[in-house]
Chains A and B, each alone.
Chain A
Amino acid sequence: SAVISQKPSRDICQRGTSLTIQCQVDSQVTMMFWYRQQPGQSLTLIATANQGSEATYESGFVIDKFPISRPNLTFSTLTVSNMSPEDSSIYLCSVEGGRAGGNTDTQYFGPGTRLTVL
């Protein structure tokens, strides 16, 4: 499986500011995904990022709030804009890791970015 790193690992931010989270993979991947894990809740997909095209956002998430860049096959960024305390979460990136005999790929996750908004 791919080795995935995220920066920063954690941050404390003020309301109204923005934070950009970086995700780096040690091999080229077509699809990268961004998830949010709010305290005590399950992981929720924010958007899917293809290299060379606009990100596809899930219901409830918009580009103005969570702009995503995907400049190449090993890197992506997620920006959390105009933050409020409700944005305090763990943000995770994931990549597909290939199939093991089935008809869909397994996703592998980075270590996450823990964001606290005051």
Chain B
Amino acid sequence: EDQVTQSPEALRLQEGESSSLNCSYTVSGLRGLFWYRQDPGKGPEFLFTLYSAGEEKEKERLKATLTKKESFLHITAPKPEDSATYLCAVQGSSSGTYKYIFGTGTRLKVLA
């Protein structure tokens, strides 16, 4: 069964203190791994799609990497506006054509 586990559940950082969020996954035939940001009361906002091990993508202070078992979302010199819940999802070849399996997210709080 496809599964996604995110850690830590919650993370508090000082502004400028870099860190990484982890997304461990078990999936049969990875088709894509997706990172989203979700602010309170809003829908998930797309950040990155990674398709194969070794792939990396960057956007401003965020960098996503992918291995065969996990993905990391690296946050460099975070600012208070980076505070949000970060969600990871996978899509595998056994879960149907379109189904995403989501983790429960990491709640990030960046203190000024």
Contact = CB atoms under 8 A, between A and B. Distances in A.
Interface residues of B, number: 24
A110 B43 contact: yes
Interface string A36-48: 0000111111001
A1 B46 contact: yes
B102 A42 contact: yes
5 contacts: A48-B98, A92-B43, A103-B51, A109-B44, A109-B45
Contact of B32 (A4, A104, A110, A112): A104
Interface string A86-106: 000000100011001111111
Given A104-B91, A114-B41, A45 B100 contact: yes
Interface string B74-107: 0000000000000101010000001110111100
A107 to B, nearest CB: 6
Contact of B51 (A44, A96, A101): A101
Contacts of A110: 43
Interface of A: 1, 4, 6, 31, 33, 40-45, 48, 58, 92, 96-97, 100-112, 114
A111 B42 CA distance: 5
A106 B43 contact: no
Contacts of A103: 31-32, 51
Contact of B46 (A31, A33, A106): A106
B72 interface: no
Nearest to A92: B43
A92 B4 CA distance: 20
B42 A112 contact: yes
Interface string B42-64: 11111001011000000000000
